Each structure stands twice: as structure tokens, then as C-alpha cells.
Amino acid sequence: MEIVNNLAACLLLVSIFGCVSCDFERRMRHHHPNHHSVQDVASVRMTSPTKTNSVSGFLALSQTQYGVKLVGYIIGLTPGKHGMHVHTFGDVTTDGCTSTGSHYNPHNATHGGPPNGIDKRHVGDLGNVVADENGVALVRIFDRVISLSGPQSIANRAIVVHANEDDLTPNANPGPRLACGTILKTKKVTRYH
């Protein structure tokens, strides 16, 4: 019986790696410059501006053909929803993250949030992140309004997470700024399709 199980495991591994190998070979035969693109990427190391809380986190951003993907985590939050926004300035040196200015809003739109378009929200309105019972928010956002280059670029600005939920209305009050970090563009990445 052990021989049969070992044989089955070997066949499974051969079929998995064989398929991977075939796919890799197929891609290599069909490789030419039109099948890859250079992609802007950025990162944000979020820290608390005060000694009264221990909120921190890390976000990775990548520009796609259709928008920007943000993934990462924020820890030290109270359980529940917390507003998250791109603020105008990347200066995160002051107490309370006040040097980041207001929400990034180059089109003077009213406050809103995803999935609203550019005419019904600030460019920097990213909605809410949700912290679990341990105070950890796993961030997975895809946004079609922000960009890492061009006229709506958020590069060198700041991302701020707030104490309260953003209700995404024009009169929203997400509360004090708990943590912030500068959006730093890194080396461009080549993606193969």
C-alpha cells in the first residue's frame, strides 16, 4: 500500500511540475516585447505620530492598466471601520500627522468614496479599512481614480488612517489621524504577460 501511495504522490508531482514546465516553455517560445509592460510601484510605511497609540503598518501599491492596487496591513487599531485617505502632502513629521494637509482633491470635488468616480469624491478618498478583533486591518483596495503617475498621481503624498469610520458623505468626520506614511515610488517593475 505504501508503494501505491508513493507512486500516486510521484505521479501528482510530475503532473503538476510537468504542467508548470510546459506553460513556462510555451511562454518562452511566444515571448516578444509586446507581452510585457513596465509598472510603477510604491510603498508606504505607516507610523503613529504620537506616543498615545501604537498604530503602524505597511502598504504596497502597484499601478495596473486599470488603476492602482493597494495591499498590506495596519495594526494597533480598535476593532471596526477606519477611514483611510491620501492627503495632499507627504510631510509626516508633525505630531498628529497634521502636516499632511487635507484630503488630496485636485478637482475640488465633494467628499465621497469608492466606487464613486472622480466627480463625486476627492481623489484621495479611499473608503474604510476594517480592523478585526485583534486590531489588525488587512488592506486590499483596487481604485480606478488614483494613479502613481500623471495628473492624479498620489506619489510623494501621504496615506492617513483615521480613528473613526468614514461614512463617505460630504460631511464625513473620520476623526483624529492615528497613523500616516509617505507614498514613496520605488523602482519600476517589468511584468511579463
Q: In angstroms, what CA-CA distances link 107 with 110, 124, 188? A: 9, 11, 28
Together in a domain, 129 and 82 = yes
0.85 exceeded by pTM: no
Given the C-alpha cell 488603476, which residue does it identify? 67
Has 193 been annotated as catalytic?
no
Together in a domain, 121 and 27 = no
- Which of 40, 82, 87, 121 is catalytic? The answer is 87
Residue 180 near residue 47, CB atoms below 8 Å: yes
Which residues, at least 6 apart from 23, have a Cβ–Cβ distance to it below 8 Å?
none
Per-residue pLDDT in tens (0 to 9) along the chain, 193 residues: 444 344 443 433 334 334 433 443 444 444 555 555 668 999 999 999 777 789 999 999 999 999 999 999 999 999 999 999 999 999 998 878 999 999 999 999 988 888 877 778 999 999 999 999 999 999 999 999 999 998 889 999 999 999 999 998 887 789 999 999 999 998 776 666 5
Whole-angstrom Cα distance, residue 173 to residue 179? 16
CATH number at residue 56: 2.60.40.200
Which residues, at least 6 apart from 71, have a Cβ–Cβ distance to it below 8 Å?
59, 60, 139, 140, 141
Together in a domain, 107 and 141 = yes
Domain count, the chain: 2
- Cis peptide bond upstream of 33, omega within 30: no
Together in a domain, 51 and 133 = yes
As a three-state string, the secondary structure of 24-82 is HHHHHHCCCHHHEEEECEEEEEEECCCCCCCCEEEEEEEECCCCEEEEEEEECCCCEEE
For position 116, what pLDDT does the model report? 79
- Which of 82, 85, 121, 157 is catalytic? The answer is 85
Has 85 been annotated as catalytic?
yes
Residue 69 near residue 141, CB atoms below 8 Å: yes
Has 35 been annotated as catalytic?
no
Q: What is the dihedral of CA 151, 153, 155, 161, to 10 degrees?
A: 140
Together in a domain, 46 and 22 = no
Give me the numbers of helices (H) and strands (E) for the chain, helices first please: 1, 11
- Domain range enclosing 25: 2-31
For position 191, what pLDDT does the model report? 63
Whole-angstrom Cα distance, residue 181 to residue 158? 5
- Which of 40, 82, 121, 125 is catalytic? The answer is 125
Which residues, at least 6 apart from 151, have a Cβ–Cβ distance to it below 8 Å?
106
Has 162 been annotated as catalytic?
yes
Burial (CB < 10 A; 0-12, 13-18, 19+), residue 55, is: buried
